[in-house]
Amino acid sequence: MYEFMVLAVLMQGPGHGYLIAKIINDIIGPYARVSSGRLYPLLAKLEQSGLITTVDEPVSRQQGNRQLHIYKITDAGRLRFRALMGDIGSNPGEYQKLFQLKVGWFSYIPLLERLRLIDHYINYCQAHIFHLQTEMEDMQRSAPFYMQKDDYDNMQMDAYSVENIINVMQHMIEQWQHELDWTRSLQKRELERVAEEGIQENP
């Protein structure tokens, strides 16, 4: 995620490490903050890989002069950014957060690529809703079984616990439904742009 975020920030223009960290933390905070100990080794790795480059600019200080590293994305970095934007399989468990981050940089990929990402995410949301609905209904049917003492491990759930679990699952379904509705609104917006610009959806 942090590699994508650094490249995404630099797609907007050059910046020094403090600015990069501030933009990332403003977006992903308050708890998933990127520290200097994580950021600067990552910047060094990206530079070694040829995805970014640095330009040193002198900065005056009362205690003396020092060099300020300005980071810029390279052509290889732009290609890597596009690859990360289009990646839908590397982090399935965290893809909700990744998709939300990607939406912020939709302007850097073509309309048809945006629509492919949106279509995939709609299916992703629907899969979560279907899974949760199925499992919740199964738990509701099996509630008497869960509340019986097991002969092997002596496990037994009380009615209050079963009720709370079902309540949580219903809450998660509602969250995913809200996410699905939001994504469909994105799809509608992008389809309107396709119509306005006369782009073929399946060239």
User: DSSP character for 108?
Assistant: G
For range 38-55, the mean pLDDT: 94
Least confident residue range of 58-72, 78-92, 126-140, 189-203: 58-72
pLDDT computed for residue 196 by the predictor? 78
Inform me whether the pLDDT recorded for 15 exceeds 80.
Answer: yes
- What is the maximum span of the chain, computed from C-alpha positions, in angstroms? 76
In single-letter form, the type of residue at position 156 comes to Q
The tokens 């302007």 sit on which residue? 107
**Cβ 8 vs Cβ 24: under 8 Å:** no
Q: Which residues contact 23 (CB under 8 A, 6 or more apart)?
A: 9, 15
For range 19-37, the mean pLDDT: 86
> What is the rounded distance in angstroms from the CA atom of residue 20 to the CA atom of residue 27?
11
Percentage of the chain modeled with pLDDT above 70: 84
**Cβ 56 vs Cβ 70: under 8 Å:** yes
Cα-to-chain-centroid distance, residue 175: 16
What is the overall mean pLDDT for the chain?
86
pLDDT tens-place string over residues 130-177: 999 999 988 888 766 655 555 545 555 667 787 888 899 999 999 999
- Structure-model confidence comparison of residues 35 and 169, the more confident one: 169
For range 98-120, the mean pLDDT: 94
Inform me whether the pLDDT recorded for 203 exceeds 50.
Answer: no
* Nearest Cα residue to 87 out of 98, 97, 78, 72: 98
> What is the rounded distance in angstroms from the CA atom of residue 176 to the CA atom of residue 108?
27
pLDDT computed for residue 118 by the predictor? 97
Q: How far is CA 50 from CA 60, 74, 169, in A?
A: 29, 7, 45
User: DSSP character for 161?
Assistant: H
Burial of 89 (0-12, 13-18, 19+ CB in 10 A): exposed
pLDDT band at 63 (very low <50, low <70, confident <90, very high): very low
pLDDT computed for residue 143 by the predictor? 64
pLDDT computed for residue 157 by the predictor? 62
pLDDT band at 8 (very low <50, low <70, confident <90, very high): very high
pLDDT computed for residue 62 by the predictor? 45
pLDDT computed for residue 80 by the predictor? 97
Total number of residues shown for the chain: 203
Inform me whether the pLDDT recorded for 71 exceeds 90.
Answer: yes
> What is the rounded distance in angstroms from the CA atom of residue 51 to the CA atom of residue 45?
9
For range 65-81, the mean pLDDT: 89
Q: Which residues contact 96 (CB under 8 A, 6 or more apart)?
A: 124, 179
Least confident residue range of 11-15, 42-46, 159-163: 159-163
The tokens 């732009």 sit on which residue? 78
